Chains A and B, each alone.
Chain A
Amino acid sequence: MDQRTPDPAQPPATSTRATPSGAIDEQFRAELLRRYTSTIGPMTAWRRFKFHSKRLVWVWVVGSTRVVKRLIDLVGGVALLVALSPLFLLVIVLIKLDSPGPVFFKQTRVGKWGRLFPMYKFRSMYIDAEARKAALMAQNEMAGGVLFKMKDDPRITRVGKYIRRGSIDELPQLWNVLKGDMSLVGPRPPVPSEVALYTLADRRRLDAIPGITCIWQVSGRSEIPFKQQVELDVAYIESQSFWLDLKLLLKTIPAVLLGRGAY
């Protein structure tokens, strides 16, 4: 492979090299020259300070995004747990009365970069649900085949039906948020058996800390085909910011209250 051979696939060369010219640039050059020629004095110190602070600001902006996201998770998580504690108590009592078994359901999910963690939910199915899944697999209604979901699932308890419709069964994940396994906003964590079927492109959705709500929960929830869900998750990961998180959190509220797409 000769490195000098021009590649035919290369786009037309950009021959218009920049020649910084014009009055503004002259001013600019003069300013730069001043920086070098004057080495002592308060003005130089001030210029140096401005220069270094400009660089520092970016380092801090970048470094702070992770801290800010975690802070929102901690503050929001604690606030929601406290505000929803009466509801929690009610649901706990109802689940206990409705069917035998524990209140919470612990499921292994896949977190950031493929790390496994236990995710908590209110139990909405009978305790032999996983065993009955294989028998029901034939009736899978989910397009794309990777996820298993079906309407009128016979494994779901009576209370389970209601808490699922209101997405209340997901609330114990606030504990996962406080633990740091999850975030308030992020792609939904998949189960390991789904991830085993992922292609490398699908795995891009494991590039962020998973969350309770994300774009496709807000926009259409379970009805979106799997391929598009991955695209939405990746789009979120690539454009994640404080304001986007806030917007998604606020949009989650009507989506949950109207019960759009959940079953």
Chain B
Amino acid sequence: MKAVVFADRPGRALAPLTDRTCVALLPMAGKPLVEHTLEDLAAADVRDLLVVVSPHADAVEALLGDGARWGLRIEYVLARGDESPDTILGRVQRRLEGDALVMRGDVLRSAVIGPFLAQAGGVPGDSVAATIGGVPAGVRLVRAGAQLPLGLPGDPETPETWRERAPTVALGDARLSLVESFRAYHQANVEAAAGRYPGLLLPGREVATGVLVGRQTRLAPDCLKGTPVFIGSRCDIKGGAELFGDVVISDDVVVDQRATLHKAVVLPHTYVGELVEVSDAIVSTTHLIDIASGAVTCVTDAFLLADLKTATLGSSVGSVAHRLGGAVLLVLSLPLWLPALLLSLLRSPRAPLRRVWLLGNHTAVDDDGQPCRRRFVALEWATRISVLRHLPKLLAVVHGDLRLVGVAPLTPAQAAARTEEWEMVRDAAPAGLLGPAQLTLRADAPLEEHFVVDAYYARTRTAAGDLRWLLRGLAALASPRAWLPRRDQ
């Protein structure tokens, strides 16, 4: 028997949790949600899977691989946009030999597949579905040669499409969460971590009754003030922090001294600062989501909440490092300034140095009182050799207007001419001297292409990645292309 696992739910109701991931990959009691479904399948000895992926397909495939980790054989099906489950099932029907188990991989259930298959065997019809507490559980048996369409339920986030039309089997003592809202996600996490979803395999070791702790996690023992508490791998819970009951902390989280957590779900790579109190809430890097009201607060102060993955070289340490690096490069580049001056004088004796207005990393306040990027004067030598021409921009790096690595700085006119929303994504990253757009694109590439490359960089940048681009930029100095005169733009 093959299983078709739908892991294609974008989870719009769960934004901003799903800004950088999809529902199937959201952490649920220490594991990505879809893993619980895979483990249920493996436990029931259903080994051949077709996983339907759509948003963040690459991340899902990177996590699940070929399924060898669970003893499964996984193949992938890419769903296009908002294709209905029926259409997708029709597309893959030829690849299913015999009966198929069609299920959603982005909802949470206790282990049900074994009992369901046993009960569904006696029910006639093309398709038999499971319900838990009267709600469709997103598990169905589709018999060989079934007539499509079957009228499969749509997105669990919209109750009007989440309906069951096939004969059903009620699974009495099983548990289900559709993870359709912040509240449901929060509750499912807390209850699953407390072991109230029978049959789920929870990672970690039990250090005290009701306290599960993952690998390489440092936990000061005086932090525990209540149970149940679940802490993922590689966390640091500093002494003096207080964990009251119903706390689920994902991997790679730092909770600083005197922070208090109660009925809280903390997502990966979050820093919870000193004296911060989180209660009845989900914390996701810089977002604090209140469960009672559903209000999402974005915290920009790194003392309170921060993203450990992107902000470890935070604004202050990062910018100091970039400015120091700029100063070092400036000193090293001094021997080049004389030839640059001479070549520029040869080409344009009147104005060897050109002035360009660019938008930098310092902030200013515009006419409407909104913060915006402050413009600054960047200097360029009037030579056609690109390495020499951009030498004076190192001064802007030392001054902090540019970073060593970042998106290419725009002129005020270029920035104002942008209209599409995706073109603004690049603004999340600082402007820099070197970067993917500056190093990989040809000088005459259209501006849109720059924006695409910059947007990708802005969403995926890391400190280690920046270092790689810097090294790549330095390595490019050795290439002849950098030293050959280039056509003027």
Contact with A along B184-224 (1 / 0, CB 8 A): 10010001001010000100110000100011100000000
| B316/A55 in contact, CB under 8 A | no
**Given the contacts A17-B262, A52-B314, A198-B71, A62 and B234 also touching, CB distance less than 8 Å:** yes
Contact of B7 with A by CB under 8 A = no
Q: Which of B70, B135, B201, B205 contacts A1 (CB 8 A)?
A: B135
Contact of A20 with B by CB under 8 A = yes
User: How far, in Å, is A8 (CB) from chain B's closest CB?
Assistant: 11
Instruction: Determine which residue in A9, A14, A36, A49 has the highest number of CB atoms from chain B within 10 A of its CB, and name it.
Output: A14
| B176/A28 in contact, CB under 8 A | no
| B275/A32 in contact, CB under 8 A | yes
Contact of A228 with B by CB under 8 A = no
A131-B215 Cα distance, complex, nearest whole Å: 42
A42-B70 Cα distance, complex, nearest whole Å: 54
Total A-B contacts with CB atoms under 8 angstroms apart: 113
A20-B257 Cα distance, complex, nearest whole Å: 12
Kindly list chain A residues whose C-beta atoms are within 8 Å of the C-beta of B184: 3
Q: Which of A7, A9, A18, A55 contacts B306 (CB 8 A)?
A: A55
Q: Which of B68, B191, B236 contacts A58 (CB 8 A)?
A: B236
Contact of B228 with A by CB under 8 A = yes
**Given the contacts A25-B258, A49-B316, A51-B303, A238 and B228 also touching, CB distance less than 8 Å:** no
Contact of B288 with A by CB under 8 A = no
Kindly list chain A residues whose C-beta atoms are within 8 Å of the C-beta of B279: 17
Nearest A residue (CB) for B228: A11
A78-B214 Cα distance, complex, nearest whole Å: 32
User: How far, in Å, is A206 (CB) from chain B's closest CB?
Assistant: 7
A225-263 residues with Cβ-Cβ distance < 8 A to B are 235, 237-241
**Given the contacts A14-B262, A28-B258, A195 and B71 also touching, CB distance less than 8 Å:** yes
**Given the contacts A25-B258, A196-B71, A237 and B275 also touching, CB distance less than 8 Å:** no
A29-B187 Cα distance, complex, nearest whole Å: 32
Contact of A35 with B by CB under 8 A = yes
A157-B308 Cα distance, complex, nearest whole Å: 57
| B201/A13 in contact, CB under 8 A | no
Contact of B48 with A by CB under 8 A = no
B377-434 residues with Cβ-Cβ distance < 8 A to A are none
A9-49 residues with Cβ-Cβ distance < 8 A to B are 9-11, 13-14, 16-18, 20, 25, 28-29, 32, 35-36, 45, 48-49
Contact of B465 with A by CB under 8 A = no
Kindly list chain A residues whose C-beta atoms are within 8 Å of the C-beta of B194: 10
| A237/B183 in contact, CB under 8 A | no
Kindly list chain A residues whose C-beta atoms are within 8 Å of the C-beta of B214: 238
Contact with A along B278-301 (1 / 0, CB 8 A): 010000000000000000000000
B215-258 residues with Cβ-Cβ distance < 8 A to A are 215-216, 225-228, 234, 236, 242, 244-245, 252, 254, 256, 258
Contact of A75 with B by CB under 8 A = no
| A11/B245 in contact, CB under 8 A | yes
Kindly list chain B residues whose C-beta atoms are within 8 Å of the C-beta of A239: 205, 215
Q: Which of A13, A52, A114, A116 contacts B71 (CB 8 A)?
A: A114
Contact of A53 with B by CB under 8 A = yes
A95-120 residues with Cβ-Cβ distance < 8 A to B are 113-116
Kindly list chain B residues whose C-beta atoms are within 8 Å of the C-beta of A241: 216
Kindly list chain A residues whose C-beta atoms are within 8 Å of the C-beta of B183: 3
Main secondary structure of the interface of B (DSSP, over half): loop
Contact of B467 with A by CB under 8 A = no
Contact with B along A129-152 (1 / 0, CB 8 A): 000000000000000000000000
Contact of A203 with B by CB under 8 A = yes
| B205/A35 in contact, CB under 8 A | no
Contact of A200 with B by CB under 8 A = yes
Q: Which of B70, B201, B244, B303 contacts A17 (CB 8 A)?
A: B244
Contact of A90 with B by CB under 8 A = no
Q: Which of A10, A25, A53, A114 contacts B317 (CB 8 A)?
A: A53
Nearest A residue (CB) for B68: A114
Contact of A67 with B by CB under 8 A = no
A11-B190 Cα distance, complex, nearest whole Å: 12
A51-B133 Cα distance, complex, nearest whole Å: 49
Contact of B69 with A by CB under 8 A = yes
Contact of B312 with A by CB under 8 A = yes
A14-B225 Cα distance, complex, nearest whole Å: 8
Contact of B150 with A by CB under 8 A = no
| A1/B133 in contact, CB under 8 A | yes
B: which residues have CB within 8 A of A?
Answer: 39, 42-43, 65, 68-71, 133, 135, 175-177, 183-184, 187, 191, 194, 196, 201, 204-205, 210, 214-216, 225-228, 234, 236, 242, 244-245, 252, 254, 256, 258, 260, 262, 271, 274-275, 277, 279, 302-303, 306, 308, 312-314, 316-317
**Closest CB pairs A-B (n = 4):** A114-B68, A14-B226, A113-B69, A52-B317
A: which residues have CB within 8 A of B?
Answer: 1, 3, 7, 9-11, 13-14, 16-18, 20, 25, 28-29, 32, 35-36, 45, 48-49, 51-56, 58-59, 62, 65, 113-116, 195-196, 198-201, 203, 206, 235, 237-241
Given contacts A16-B225, A114-B69, 8 further A-B contacts (CB under 8 A): A7-B196, A18-B225, A18-B242, A18-B244, A32-B275, A49-B317, A53-B317, A235-B205
Can you list 14 pairs linking A and B with CB atoms under 8 Å apart? A1-B175, A7-B191, A14-B245, A18-B244, A20-B275, A48-B316, A52-B302, A52-B312, A52-B316, A58-B254, A113-B68, A113-B69, A114-B69, A235-B205
